């Protein structure tokens, strides 16, 4: 059982991410104590299916013995090795080579980070260096999408376009700009894929012109599926069309695959779905299945060679103490073995089952939209299907739905606008996927009885 002393220690000392500090002090911590496969257990002994894989990250599931053994072995042999001074160690070298083999096109060069946020920060630094190397320092404006998420570090949070990450922080910065999301369910141009793609292309071109033309714009950032914005899935062909505009205008195209990488949507990288090759690709989360911190930036050969040639014998001044950490890399190699050994294929099968199961909830009175790809999905709740009216703020959808799902033995992401997010471990069984759907329906039925919801139901 969770002792009161731990609750009080948490209140007094541990700062939680993206939380109301006063609200958390009042509520107290809800502590997990163990996990195995796709299930987690809290301090009261309550066992739940983790339908969100931690924070979109435990792709391989909990308690994989081969991963634990790889970390333990590396800790005993060489717990740390710096990449500075021309030094290195075997695990990150092998991991970089294997990742390059899986990456699209000529993304052959890998810089390791601690996670997704500093991977995004690294892309900004690499992009600036690249344009300076090409004699075009005026290309210093960066574009991303509304409702996109690119981390919560100072630079990445400015590329992120979710209000909570800007409020009180003085963000975004004046060189960070947004264009509208493709958000098919609520797009002003309607739901026709061709119309959405045409609108996004026009918006990108218009923003580039507004900023002074392509000669001013350094890079455009996009997630293959916008995760923290509500699991917003672009129409097929959208990523390809945006990539083509960036190629035409000589603007770097950066694919943020921190969430979508490593089988989350089916293939190893979601960019493969449309056969595109970005100039840079960021990943994290599934890279180590969340067991230890690690992220990465993939650089195209063109970018790498341009930067390397410009620097010559001089050092390129970007580095982290824990870049290419041998323990993290050893874990990454073990997780990659699992992906290659059948986990990706299981994820594809279970992803199809998840999408079909959630689609079966479309007839529920509260369900306005079901969307997703593979083991990444969302259910958007409304009180009026024709008007697409969101759940009222009085219903406190984020907290109440999360709490109800938790009581029903399911962990999901409950967004504040009434969107439910799903990203189960790829190791899920068919029975676990079916249970995710069944427990979701129970949670929706309970929410339908909420007086704040009944009062405004269409």
Tell me the pLDDT band of 341, cut-offs 50, 70 and 90: very high
pLDDT range class, residue 2, cuts 50, 70, 90: low
Concatenating the DSSP letter of every residue in 128-192 gives HHHHHHTT-TT--EEEEETT----SSHHHHHH---GGGTTTTT-S-TTEEEE----GGG-TT-S-
Q: Clarify whether residues 79 and 194 are in a common domain.
A: yes
173, 139 contact by CB (below 8 A): no
Alpha-carbon dihedral sign for residues 71, 65, 118, 220: positive
Question: What range does the domain containing 189 cover?
Answer: 66-341
Distance between CA atoms of 437 and 266, rounded to whole angstroms? 19
**Same structural domain, 110 and 47:** no
pLDDT at position 146 = 98
Q: Is residue 332 part of a domain?
A: yes
Based on the fold, state whether residues 390 and 419 are members of the same structural domain: yes
Residues 173 and 301 in one domain: yes
- Torsion (CA) 129, 130, 131, 132 in degrees, nearest 10: 40
Indicate if the pLDDT at residue 1 is higher than 80: no
Q: How many domains does the chain have?
A: 2
Q: Quick count: other Cβ atoms within 10 Å of Cβ 167? A: 9
Kindly state whether residue 391 falls inside one of the protein's structural domains.
Answer: yes
Residue 84 belongs to a domain? yes
The domain boundary, picked from 325, 341, 357, lies at: 341
Quote the percentage of the chain above a pLDDT of 70: 99
Domain shared by 406 and 304, yes or no: no
SS3 sequence of 191-210: CCHHHHHHHHHHHHHHHHHH
Q: Does the pTM exceed 0.85?
A: yes
DSSP class of 234? P
Helix residue ranges per DSSP H, 32-89: 53-56, 65-77
Q: Using the 3D structure, point to which of 296, 325, 341 is the last residue of a domain.
A: 341
**Nearest Cα residue to 426 out of 221, 251, 268:** 268
Residue found by looking up tokens 């899986």 in the block: 102
- Please count the CA atoms within 13 angstroms of the CA of 432 that sit on its side-chain side: 29
Which tens digit of pLDDT belongs to each residue from 300-336? 999 999 999 999 999 999 999 999 999 999 999 999 9
pLDDT at 418 over 80: yes
List all residues 6 or more positions away from 35 whose beta carbon is below 8 Å from its beta carbon.
Answer: 41, 50, 62, 63
pLDDT band of residue 4 (cuts 50, 70, 90) is: confident
123 near 280, Cβ under 8 Å?
Answer: yes
pLDDT at 97 over 60: yes
For residues 358 and 439, membership in a common domain is answered with yes
Residue 291 tokens read as: 């067991």
On whether both 56 and 71 belong to a single domain, the answer is no
**Residues 291, 156: Cα–Cα separation, whole Å:** 23
Tell me the two tokens of residue 112: 């390791």
Tokens, residue 205? 């071109």
Whether 292 and 390 share a structural domain: no
Domain check: are 388 and 419 in the same one? Answer: yes
pLDDT tens digits for range 13-50: 999 999 999 999 999 999 999 999 999 999 999 999 99
Residue 123 tokens, joined: 């892309």
**Residue 307 and residue 440 in one domain:** no
Kindly report the number of other CB atoms within 10 A of residue 360's CB atom. Answer: 13
**Average pLDDT, integer, range 152-170:** 97
CB 64 within 8 A of CB 332: no
Considering the domain architecture, whether residues 190 and 308 belong to the same structural domain is answered as yes
Which of 341, 375, 409 lies at the terminal end of a domain, its last residue? 341
- Residue at 415 is within a domain: yes
Residue 205: which CATH number? 3.40.640.10
pLDDT digits (tens, 9 = 90+) for 189-244: 999 999 999 999 999 999 999 999 999 999 999 999 999 999 999 999 999 999 99
Q: What is the pLDDT of residue 26?
A: 94
**φ and ψ at residue 114, rounded to 5 degrees:** -95, -20
Average pLDDT, the chain: 97
Q: Which is nearest to 71 in space by CA: 335, 274, 389? A: 335
């Amino acid at each position: 059982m969770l002792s009161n002393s731990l609750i009080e220690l948490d209140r007094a000392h541990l700062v939680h991410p993206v939380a109301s500090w006063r609200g958390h002090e009042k509520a107290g911590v809800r502590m997990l104590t163990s996990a195995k496969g796709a299930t987690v257990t809290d301090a009261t002994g309550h066992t739940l299916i983790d339908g969100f894989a931690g924070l979109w990250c435990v792709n391989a599931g909990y308690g994989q013995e081969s991963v634990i053994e790889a970390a333990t072995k590396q800790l005993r042999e060489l717990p740390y090795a710096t990449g500075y001074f021309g030094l290195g160690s075997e695990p990150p070298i092998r991991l970089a080579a294997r990742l390059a083999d899986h990456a699209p096109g000529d993304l052959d060069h890998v810089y390791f980070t601690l996670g997704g946020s500093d991977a995004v920060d690294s892309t900004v630094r690499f992009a600036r260096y690249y344009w300076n190397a090409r004699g075009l320092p005026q290309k210093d404006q960066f574009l991303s999408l509304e409702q996109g998420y690119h981390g919560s570090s100072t630079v990445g949070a400015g590329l992120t376009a979710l209000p909570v990450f800007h409020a009180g922080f003085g963000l975004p910065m004046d060189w960070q700009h947004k264009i509208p999301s493709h958000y098919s369910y609520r797009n002003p141009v309607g739901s026709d894929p061709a119309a959405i793609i045409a609108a996004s292309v026009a918006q990108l071109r218009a923003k580039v012109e507004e900023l002074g033309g392509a000669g001013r714009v350094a890079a455009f950032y996009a997630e293959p599926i916008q995760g923290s914005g509500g699991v917003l899935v672009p129409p097929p062909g959208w990523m390809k069309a945006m990539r083509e505009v960036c190629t035409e205008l000589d603007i770097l195209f950066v694919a943020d695959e921190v969430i979508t990488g490593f089988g989350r949507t089916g293939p190893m990288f979601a960019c493969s779905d449309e056969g595109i090759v970005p100039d840079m690709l960021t990943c994290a989360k599934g890279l180590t299945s969340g067991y230890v911190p690690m992220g990465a930036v993939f650089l195209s050969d063109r970018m790498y060679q341009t930067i390397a040639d410009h620097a010559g014998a001089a050092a390129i001044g970007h580095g982290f103490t824990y870049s290419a950490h041998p323990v993290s890399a050893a874990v990454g190699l073990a997780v990659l073995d699992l992906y290659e050994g059948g986990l990706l294929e299981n994820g594809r099968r279970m992803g199809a089952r998840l999408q079909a199961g959630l689609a079966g909830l479309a007839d529920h009175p509260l369900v306005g939209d079901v969307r997703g790809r593979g083991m990444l999905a969302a259910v958007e709740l409304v009180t009026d299907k024709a008007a697409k009216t969101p759940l009222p703020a009085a219903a406190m959808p984020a907290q109440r739905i999360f709490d109800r799902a938790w009581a029903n033995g399911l962990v999901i992401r409950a967004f504040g606008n009434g969107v439910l997010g799903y990203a189960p471990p790829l190791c899920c069984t068919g029975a676990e996927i079916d249970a995710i759907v069944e427990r979701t329906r129970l949670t929706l039925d309970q929410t339908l009885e909420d007086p704040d919801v009944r009062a405004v139901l269409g």
